[in-house]
Structure 1
Amino acid sequence: MTREQYILATQQNNLRTETAQFYPVGIYGWRKRCLYFFVLLLLVTMIVNLAMTIWILKVMNFTVDGMGNLRVTKNGIRLEGVSEFLLPLYVKEIHSRKDSPLVLQSDRNVTVNARNQNGHLTGQMVVGANAVEAQCKRFEVKSNEDGKMLFAADEDEITIGADRLRVTGTEGAVFGHSVETPHIRAGPSQDLRLESPTRSLTMEAPKGVQISAVAGEFKASCRKELHLQSTDGEIFLDADNIRLGNLPQGSFTPSSPNSVGPRQTVYELCVCPNGKLYLSPAGSSSTCQSSSNICLWS
């Protein structure tokens, strides 16, 4: 080997030795400390989340059947205790347990709406502090035992299906227009009174009006005229005693001075051509005169 070849070979070996250096592999220094810190922070967050999840499950009472007061059964959803709904509730049926009532409570009012398939309002019931309002085509109240209709109201009429309508107010019942009924009766040991303070009282029936007082008296009074009229029949007064009080007494001049005694105790009931009644002293013959002062000045 010549000298030049030896020098060249020696230089190549030195270059190989210098290039074969070792570099460290991994994360060191502040990068390693930051990585450990983030791993520790993630571990703490997971532990806190797990603890909060367990606490929420414990507080909300989550079970296989539901959560808290809510239980999911085969018939639907069951709520125990007091429940509050902040948003609208859409259900098909709401009912309480057999041993407890159903209570719907609100700070302002309770509104129940019924809508059709198009979402239009068809019925509404509002229970407020001052009134209970129902808006529908027909409102009905039925008996719980046999389903008999007790009360019904629509735009045309109001129907009361109960066997007896009792008004317990001191002022009675006030009707602004006509009333149709087959029977009006007072309660036991009470008087029946039909009164019109400022207008007239009219009772009409196609087949007759019957007024009877079995254990008491019947009294009809008015401020002006009392008309008893029968167009096709007669007015029949059937009683042991018929008394007409406060009838005026007409004057009569006898043809003979001895025809009427000085103390007159018997009178004759006379009728004027205009229908007015008056009393005239009874005599051996009729003492009624169409020219009496009662008939002339009435």
Structure 2
Amino acid sequence: YSPFLCLLIIWFIVCLDSPLVLQSDRNVTVNARNHMGQLTGQLTIGADAVEAQCKRFEVRASEDGRVLFSADEDEITIGAEKLKVTGTEGAVFGHSVETPHIRAEPSQDLRLESPTRSLIMEAPRGVQVSAAAGDFKATCRKELHLQSTEGEIFLNAETIRLGNLPTGSFSSSSPSSSSSRQTVYELCVCPNGKLYLSPAGVGSTCQSSSNICLWS
């Protein structure tokens, strides 16, 4: 068909208030050009993929026209109220993620994981992690550091338990101190910050020369 005849057919279909259908055995390509004939945008619909080549790609809501999805060379913006990832492996981000709210599905656990590197959460006004109706657990393979550069660290709870603390040795001049079974211990701190238990006495039994401090 000639270009004029094709335009006439398209105009006739549109005037009949019918859907405009473009069919091809391979793909359908729509090009946009400027007044100089240069290609400024292209949309290609193929059997395996839909490709758009343009400076900015937008998907808008039909009701109010707000942007639901936009992408350009600098950023991708998702304007929907909720971003839902249904894959079994979750979402994988190659670099940093900035979001005001992350929430798991009902009755599902929320898991933030970095399989091979560190997991870092930063905020200029603080990071808050809370479990309103359950326990909060932090486990690691090596060392767990709680550090405050300018403030203090508060442990505010009805009961604070420090399990599996080592018991240091204490040499007392009183021979009767070892005759009875020891039931009360003193919590001691080594110069390097390590905690250990020492048999409680009349005075403090913490010693910097304890076997725990020397071998830690």
Which residue of 2 is the match for residue 157 of structure 1? 75
Comparing 124-133 with 259-268, greater Cα deviation is found at: 259-268
Which residue of 2 is the match for residue 116 of structure 1? 34
1:178 corresponds, among 77, 96, 117, to 96
Which residue of 2 is the match for residue 15 of structure 1? none
Which residue of 2 is the match for residue 20 of structure 1? none
Q: Which runs of 5+ in 1 are unaligned?
A: 1-69, 80-93
Deviations 1:193-230 (A, max 9, x none): 11111111111111100111112222222222222222
Confirm whether residue 77 of structure 1 aligns to residue 12 of structure 2: yes
Query: Identical aligned pairs, as a percentage?
Result: 78
More helix, by proportion: 1
Length, aligned pairs only: 209
Q: CA 1:151–1:258 in structure 2 vs 1: closer, same or farther (change >3 Å)? A: farther
1:223 corresponds, among 138, 141, 147, to 141
| Cα distance in 2 for residues equivalent to 1:253 and 1:188 | 58
Deviation at 1:262, TM superposition (A): 4.4
Q: CA 1:219–1:121 in structure 2 vs 1: closer, same or farther (change >3 Å)? A: farther
The TM-score with structure 1 as length reference comes to 0.61
Confirm whether residue 295 of structure 1 aligns to residue 213 of structure 2: yes
Which residue of 2 is the match for residue 141 of structure 1? 59
Q: CA 1:220–1:256 in structure 2 vs 1: closer, same or farther (change >3 Å)? A: same
Which residue of 2 is the match for residue 234 of structure 1? 152
Q: Which runs of 5+ in 2 are unaligned?
A: 1-7
Q: CA 1:282–1:118 in structure 2 vs 1: closer, same or farther (change >3 Å)? A: farther
What RMSD in Å do the two structures reach over aligned CA positions?
2.9
Structure number with larger C-alpha Rg: 1
| Cα distance in 1 for residues equivalent to 2:60 and 2:169 | 68
Give the counterpart letter for 2:51 in structure 1: E
| Cα distance in 2 for residues equivalent to 1:148 and 1:123 | 22
Deviations 1:240-294 (A, max 9, x none): 3333333333333334243467444444332222222233333443332222222
| Contact kept in structure 2, 1:267 and 1:280, CA below 8 Å | yes
The TM-score with structure 2 as length reference comes to 0.81
Comparing 101-110 with 180-189, greater Cα deviation is found at: 101-110
| Contact kept in structure 2, 1:273 and 1:295, CA below 8 Å | yes
| Contact kept in structure 2, 1:260 and 1:283, CA below 8 Å | no
| Cα distance in 1 for residues equivalent to 2:140 and 2:17 | 58
User: Which secondary structure does the structure 2 equivalent of 1:114 belong to?
Assistant: strand
Deviation at 1:142, TM superposition (A): 1.9
| Cα distance in 2 for residues equivalent to 1:279 and 1:272 | 11
Give the counterpart letter for 1:245 in structure 2: G
Deviation at 1:105, TM superposition (A): 4.1
Give the counterpart letter for 2:12 in structure 1: I
